Amino acid sequence: MDQTVFAQFIEQLHRYVRDRLIPAEPQVIADDAVPPEIVDEMREMGLFGLTTPEEFGGAGMNIPQYVETIRVLSHAMPAYRSTASINLGMVCSALKNGGTNAQKAEWLPRIATGEIACFGLTEPGSGSDSAAMATTAKADGDGYILTGSKRYITNAPQAKLGLIMARTHAETLPGNGHVSAFLVPMDSPGVSVSKPDRKMGQAGSHIADIYLDEVKLPGAALLGGVEGRGFATAMQSLDNGRLSVAAASCGYARRMLDTALRYATERKAFGEPIAGFQLIQAMLADSEAELYAAECMLKDAAERANQGKAILACASAKLFASEMCGRVADRCVQIHGGAGYLAEYEAERFYRDARVYRIYEGTSQIMQLVIAKQMLRDFAAGAQG
């Protein structure tokens, strides 16, 4: 997208977040759902197709533009980002990078116009450990039969399309070659979705289990038309997903800090605003410094991802930004004091909402492993060179 056009879009998005999305938050919380009219507005604004190439009806944003959009959108509560982010990051990325021409032509225009998608990797017995994946895809003539289940799948109750990972080989192959990716219409016979799980926070954002009971798919459902590339596709998509979580962490942390700053200037103790107390100032200052660092990391990681060299940067940005967001949330509650523990104030909700960012798209501990392993690979390659 042209940078001038993008700047105009971001200005419009800022207004939409401030004037429409934030005022609607009490309704989202009460209904545990984003109002249908807001979802329709998001479709009309093109928010589901920002990263889809223009030839397929999208805006053709590059990765830095996409990441900045998510950061701005995430100043409002997380449910809005969750509604569109799987389309924008993970599924669109997988189709662009790994889909056949026919798959792109069929699905990219549909997700760009707002057919909600989901991404099925995690299972009851496996998450980051793909060797333990139990969902199978057995060859059946020219197609496949999928059997298994997926857990904690964002947008599963609303999704029209699922990008589902499954074993196409019983044995564990090097490079996770036993895992393939499938484009699964969610209305396919044999696909069912559980009731949404009750969660600690993030009202209006739904996760649920997906059950696959001998789901028959044509061979054209295999992403890219080649077996054994599913895990690599998932990992490439997860880079975008991790940048999205990092951007969400930065956007929401900025909202928290603004709220804490406002409360500190309004709340009085001992005859003066608590913002005048140095220990309150220390919490505000630490939050600003950490948030600034995370925002800088986010921009750099997005630029590196745009150049195709991003595993280390994306994992580092996600790790630091999500942990930072948790610390800012904690300080926001602390600055509110007793009021921070009450549902009447936003600080309590911020604290619950922020916690999952250290788990989404790979826990902080998995990010540490990803970073360390990439460092060791880079060192070994340098030593050999």
Active-site residue set = 361
Any idea which residue has 């800088």 for tokens? 296
- Helix locations, the chain, DSSP H: 3-16, 25-31, 36-44, 63-73, 78-85, 92-98, 101-112, 230-266, 278-306, 311-336, 346-354, 364-384
Non-local CB neighbours of 326 within 8 Å, separated by 6+ positions: 354, 355, 357, 358
**Dihedral angle, C-alpha 148, 236, 92, 140, nearest 10 °:** -40
Q: How many Å apart are CA 121 and CA 166, to the nearest integer?
A: 8
Q: Are 290 and 324 in contact (CB under 8 A)?
A: yes
Closest to 230 (Cα-Cα) out of 49, 364, 370, 99 = 99
Residue 100 burial (CB count, 10 A): 15
C-alpha distance across the termini of the chain, in Å: 38
Task: Please give the full DSSP string across 247-262, using - where no structure is assigned.
Answer: HHHHHHHHHHHHHHHH
Structure tokens at 315: 């994992």
Helix (H, G, I), strand (E, B) or coil at 160: coil
φ, ψ of residue 95 in degrees (nearest 5): -70, -45
Q: How far apart are CA 203 and CA 80, in angstroms?
A: 10
- Phi, psi dihedrals of residue 8, rounded to the nearest 5°: -65, -40
Pick the closest to residue 70 from 60, 82, 59, 58 (CA basis).
82
Phi-psi domain of 159 (left: phi exceeds 0; alpha: psi -120 through 50; beta: other): beta
Tokens 């930065």, residue located: 250
Half-sphere exposure of 282 (CA within 13 A, CB side): 4
Question: Of 182, 185, 187, 193, whose CA–CA distance to 149 is shortest?
Answer: 193
